[in-house]
Chain A
Amino acid sequence: MPDERPLRAVPDLRGPQHRITGDHWWDQDRIAHLADRPRHCPSCGVALDIDHGISVEYWEGDNRVYHTWCKECGWTGDIIRIRRMVGHEPEDH
């Protein structure tokens, strides 16, 4: 069975005092997604903050992919957050 636990421990942010905008039912989900994005370049290790690169999350089937570009070293690639190891190449997600 896939591991359904959160990928990263997310504090309980229910309640209006913790909401980012206060008007989206998925705020909790958004916080979790933001918490999961890569924080450092996998090549040179620089912080992937607004001044040093970008990571854009998109979905590919069950996987969440972070397309990542590092301004410092130019590394570009997809970082995939996975829940389980799969031993074959699926034909289609």
Chain B
Amino acid sequence: MLSKEQNEQLTRVGPGTSMGTLLRHYWYPVAFSKDLEGFPVKKVRLLGEDFALYKMANGEYGIIQEACPHRRASLVYGVVEEDGIRCGYHGWCFDTEGNCVDQPAEPDKSTFKNKIQAFAGSAQEMGGMIWAYIGEQPAPELPRFDVFVMDGIRDVGHATLPCNWLQIMENSVDPHHVEFLHGRYFEFLGNKKGFEAPKAFQKKHVKVGFDSFEYGILKRRVLEGQSEANDDWAVGHPLVFPYCMRVGGGGIDQMQIRVPIDDTTTWALFYSTHNSDQAGDYPDQGLTDYEYQWRDADGNHIVDYIEGQDVMAWVSQGPITDRSSEHIGKSDIGIVMLRRMFKEALAAVEAGEDPIGVVREPHDRIDLPCEKDKFGAGAEFPLAWINMGSMRYSPIKDQLERFHEDVAKAAASA
């Protein structure tokens, strides 16, 4: 249980809030690269603020407050220039740092433009997505986590969900939900509706553990029939502070991304890179993105697949769950640890320090620890994940299945 005040502090993400200030120390994906290929401006919303994201002719990106400082018209309807964006209303032009560099209707010798500054962030492309930073400059490095920069087939399912991002993150340090939500409940549904739920998710947790590390919290589990020598404990997988979780297994490397759009809206993405040393020569096809379905025509949750079950658990808690009326137990200590980590990070920011996970050193790639043999399920795991997870909505689902079948055959004959 948390007090109402603590709950407010940990869940409000807008400008001027404690958590909003902390979260503005990190980069976030705000669009797919292809979104700006047809037309070079797109409206995006991040941490309770609206922005115009744009792509210039040289291939670089800019992000600027949506409202023009002149008369507040939307810069989403602006003209992209060589080095910035020009308001479509009266032509005020802003460079990528937000400096006003032109006011066409003002007298030639006017210095008025020198008094005008728009808020501008930084934007970069990585892994087929555009990433934005809207905190104080200098911006930290955009962390090049392995999933985003490794070779492979990229498949990204996404949806905009009506709930606060923190209740999704708390799910990431809650291993026990797997055996019930994706195990027992899935089995119950299968029995009632005539399908077979995946067995790999039904194993009982014997032990769970959590370690803080450089990028967040490393989560470990021992399942019935396993030991600490198994990947699920010996390696585990991390919550990547403050808004991601790295998972994987059987040739699928995935980052689960929860972008706080505002207090009660989260863009939830499953960014998967399918790869294997055993794979043949699969051509790079760029990134395939699609929306996964989570509500049916009647407005009920779609719960006959893994991530749909997760979405039910996140969204049904309400827009911002009331943690002053929860009852958590010993099995929820990962959540307790995460809340403490947020408070420690808030304190670091208040002291003028970088919070955990902010990267300042230039680098090529950051490899995160992540188990390969997931739940001891072997080669069956990727096919179960594709067919019983959000990837069932992928337009390249058949190709993904063939890929993993080929990998399994190659491994068997090796």
Q: Are A69 and B2 in contact (CB under 8 A)?
A: no
Q: Are B343 and A69 in contact (CB under 8 A)?
A: yes
Complex interface residues of chain A between 26 and 56 (CB less than 8 A to chain B): 26, 30, 33-34, 37, 49-50, 53-54, 56
Nearest CB on B from A88, distance (A): 19
Number of A-B contacts (CB under 8 A): 56
Q: Are B333 and A58 in contact (CB under 8 A)?
A: yes
Which stretch (B307-315, B321-329, B377-385, B389-397) binds chain A?
Answer: B321-329
Q: Are B333 and A54 in contact (CB under 8 A)?
A: no
Q: Are B343 and A53 in contact (CB under 8 A)?
A: yes
The answer to the question of B364 belonging to the interface, with a C-beta cut-off of 8 Å to chain A, is no
Q: Across chains A and B, which 8 residue pairs bring their CB atoms closest together, nearest first?
A: A57-B1, A58-B328, A54-B343, A71-B347, A67-B336, A59-B329, A50-B5, A56-B336
In the complex with contacts A24-B325, A50-B9, A69-B344, A60-B330 CB distance below 8 A: yes
Q: Are A60 and B340 in contact (CB under 8 A)?
A: no
Cα distance A56–B1 when bound, in Å?
Answer: 6
The A contact surface, by secondary structure, is: mixed
Closest B residue, CB atoms, query A49: B5
Closest B residue, CB atoms, query A58: B328
Cα distance A33–B345 when bound, in Å?
Answer: 26
The B contact surface, by secondary structure, is: helix
Contacts of B5 in A (CB 8 A): 49-50
Chain B residues with a Cβ closer than 8 Å to the other chain, count: 22
Q: Are B340 and A33 in contact (CB under 8 A)?
A: no
Closest A residue, CB atoms, query B1: A57
Closest A residue, CB atoms, query B350: A71
Cα distance A50–B10 when bound, in Å?
Answer: 10
> Which positions in B face A, CB cutoff 8 Å?
1-6, 9, 322, 324-325, 327-330, 332-333, 336, 339-340, 343-344, 347
Closest A residue, CB atoms, query B331: A58
A93 contact from B324, B327, B330, Cβ within 8 A:
B330
Q: Are B340 and A54 in contact (CB under 8 A)?
A: yes
| Cross-chain pairs A/B with CB under 8 angstroms, 9 sampled | A21-B322, A33-B1, A34-B3, A54-B343, A58-B1, A58-B329, A60-B330, A69-B340, A76-B340
Q: Are B329 and A60 in contact (CB under 8 A)?
A: yes
Complex interface residues of chain A between 61 and 76 (CB less than 8 A to chain B): 67, 69, 71, 76
Nearest CB on B from A72, distance (A): 9
Nearest CB on A from B221, distance (A): 19
Most buried by B among A20, A30, A53, A76: A30
Contacts of B4 in A (CB 8 A): 20
Cα distance A26–B1 when bound, in Å?
Answer: 13
Most buried by A among B1, B324, B325, B336: B1
In the complex with contacts A69-B344, A71-B347, A56-B324 CB distance below 8 A: no
Closest A residue, CB atoms, query B344: A69
Cα distance A56–B336 when bound, in Å?
Answer: 7
Nearest CB on A from B339, distance (A): 5
Contacts of B6 in A (CB 8 A): 50, 54
Cα distance A69–B1 when bound, in Å?
Answer: 15
Nearest CB on A from B350, distance (A): 8
Contacts of B336 in A (CB 8 A): 56, 58, 67
Contacts of B339 in A (CB 8 A): 54, 56
